Amino acid sequence: MTKEASTQFGQPLSSESKKLVNEVRLKLKEPIHPNFNTDFNIYRFILNAERQFNKTKDVVESAAKYLNQHLKFRRCLHLDELEDVPFEKNPIFRRNFLPIGELLPKTDSSGRILWYVEYATITVEDIAHALRSSAACRYQFWQFEHMLRRVNKQEKETGKFSSLRHIVDMTGYEINPFMMLFVSSGNLSYYSNLFHYEHYPELVYPVEIVNIAKWIHAPYRLVKAFMPAGFTDRFRLYDNHFLEELKKEIKAEDIPESLGGLNKDIKCIPAVKMTEGDYWQAPSEKVLDQLEMLHVSAKKQKIFKVDIPENSPIKTLSWYYRSDGDIYFGVFHDPLNSKKKEEKEIDPDSKEMVYPYLKGAAKLVHEFDYVDLEKPGTYYLVLCNRHSWLHRRNIEIVVQLSAPDGSDAKRVYLDGTIKPVDEGLLQILHLKDYKD
């Protein structure tokens, strides 16, 4: 039996919740920015743990673990310094990959902000063919950060714990082979876990999926098998008999007419289907000709290592790669130049993250980006296949080190060899000006 939540939505934090918040604070290893440092934000991680564990010790340990990881991502993605990016300015919405449903100035009876959206026009295939996985993830972090700020504002005004109540209308959604592959490959479970459990737990609670077709139960069971306890309460499925359930906690005038309510003004801007002519194309044959094949066996890593000495001018690490399957990718920093035996495997949790460590595909859209190496020490560019028990990944990649303007470019090889090149990735691809 799991521990009962010490604070419910729509309530001020209880004395027990405040005590747990203080215990989690004592276990933080990462700095917490003032823009994020509220008891409610910390309690979200605690509540997520309370749904899974019975013992207070386990709740605190789990909450601190995931909060420390989230703080790494916040620093790496500069989320605390980021200007608020509303949906209409976020590229994943602005380019019509996802439908836009307004975050309403209305709440349910538990003080949760209402958010309605339709999913009939979503096409996962378009996103997979048009956006780098890293960019799609970054834009979703911006999306969740925008939602967090709205919820934080609500909490500051009321002094009560809040979240988003997300109602998803599935009317007209049609299954397709690409979507089934997205579900069966574990990618839907990965992204659901990434945002709803690991980084923004309890921010969107519940997600109520209404007007579902019978076929949805098959992918739902697949996803459910890989998710933590409480998934069925967090993601609730309804056929067309849902209105009375909503009305128990939401006023009829705050439910859109399209769902049987009285509000004529709640609308959703649909996503737009792309044509194949709009799909991503490799930007440069010059780069493709430089790619070198390497293999990452199941449960293994491959690491490109760069040492930056003291008093060295800022360098820029850039890369371009494609793969035949999902791979974890990230860049990490160790402030002490490595003098020990070459590391064939590293523990990302033991290093400073300087480029977000995320799983993604680089088959339909290749991955390319850069990071400025502003501190001395050792940097590790990591390609990890530890999530796979059986299948190796075939990667074609080029890694380079250059001045921040792209001059003095050198290629970095897997064995540590560094050789000059005539023209670097930053210049060929105009990476510092590149926008998806």
At which of 228, 257, 278 does a domain end? 278
Please tell me the distance from the alpha carbon of residue 419 to that of residue 311, in angstroms, as a whole number.
22
Rounded to 10 degrees, what is the CA torsion of 232, 238, 244, 249? 40
Burial of 116 (0-12, 13-18, 19+ CB in 10 A): buried
In the block, tokens 């793969």 appear at 323
Q: Mean pLDDT across the stretch 299-313?
A: 93
Q: Indicate whether 81 belongs to any domain.
A: no
Over 50: is that where the pLDDT of 31 sits? yes
Please tell me the distance from the alpha carbon of residue 128 to that of residue 366, in angstroms, as a whole number.
11
* Number of domain units in the chain: 3
pTM: 0.94
425 and 388 within one domain: yes
Q: Mean pLDDT across the stretch 335-353?
A: 76
pLDDT at position 218, please? 74
93 and 70 within one domain: no
50 and 99 within one domain: no
Tell me which of 434 and 112 has the higher pLDDT.
112
pLDDT at position 339, please? 54
The tokens for 20 are 């747990």
What is the CATH number for 312?
2.60.120.680
201 and 122 within one domain: yes
Q: Mean pLDDT across the stretch 262-286?
A: 92
140 and 36 within one domain: no
Confidence of residue 337 (pLDDT cuts 50, 70, 90): low
Q: Indicate whether 1 belongs to any domain.
A: no
Give the 3-state secondary structure of 151-180: HHHHHHHHCCCCCEEEEEECCCCCCCHHHH
Contact between residue 316 and residue 382 where contact means Cβ atoms under 8 Å apart: no
Q: Indicate whether 242 belongs to any domain.
A: yes
Q: Mean pLDDT across the stretch 419-424?
A: 93
Q: What are phi and psi of 25, to 5 degrees?
A: -55, -40
292 and 271 within one domain: no
166 and 71 within one domain: no
390 and 300 within one domain: yes
53 and 144 within one domain: no
pLDDT at position 1, please? 46
Q: Indicate whether 10 belongs to any domain.
A: no
Range of the domain at 309: 285-433
pLDDT at position 319, please? 97
Q: Mean pLDDT across the stretch 385-413?
A: 93
Q: Indicate whether 183 belongs to any domain.
A: yes
Q: Indicate whether 4 belongs to any domain.
A: no
Q: What is the mean pLDDT of the chain?
A: 92
pLDDT at position 111, please? 97
Contact between residue 246 and residue 274 where contact means Cβ atoms under 8 Å apart: no
Q: Mean pLDDT across the stretch 211-234?
A: 78
328 and 248 within one domain: no
Q: Indicate whether 126 belongs to any domain.
A: yes
pLDDT at position 341, please? 54
290 and 271 within one domain: no
Question: Which residues touch 57 (CB under 8 Å, ≥6 apart)?
Answer: none
At which of 50, 76, 102 does a domain end? 76
C-alpha of 38 from chain center: 21
Please tell me the distance from the alpha carbon of residue 21 to that of residue 298, in angstroms, as a whole number.
39
176 and 37 within one domain: no
pLDDT at position 298, please? 92
Contact between residue 167 and residue 116 where contact means Cβ atoms under 8 Å apart: yes
Please tell me the distance from the alpha carbon of residue 334 to that of residue 340, in angstroms, as a whole number.
13
At which of 278, 300, 320 does a domain end? 278
What is the CATH number for 110?
3.40.525.10
Q: Indicate whether 273 belongs to any domain.
A: yes
State pLDDT tens for residues 123-169.
888 999 999 999 999 999 999 999 999 999 999 999 999 999 999 99
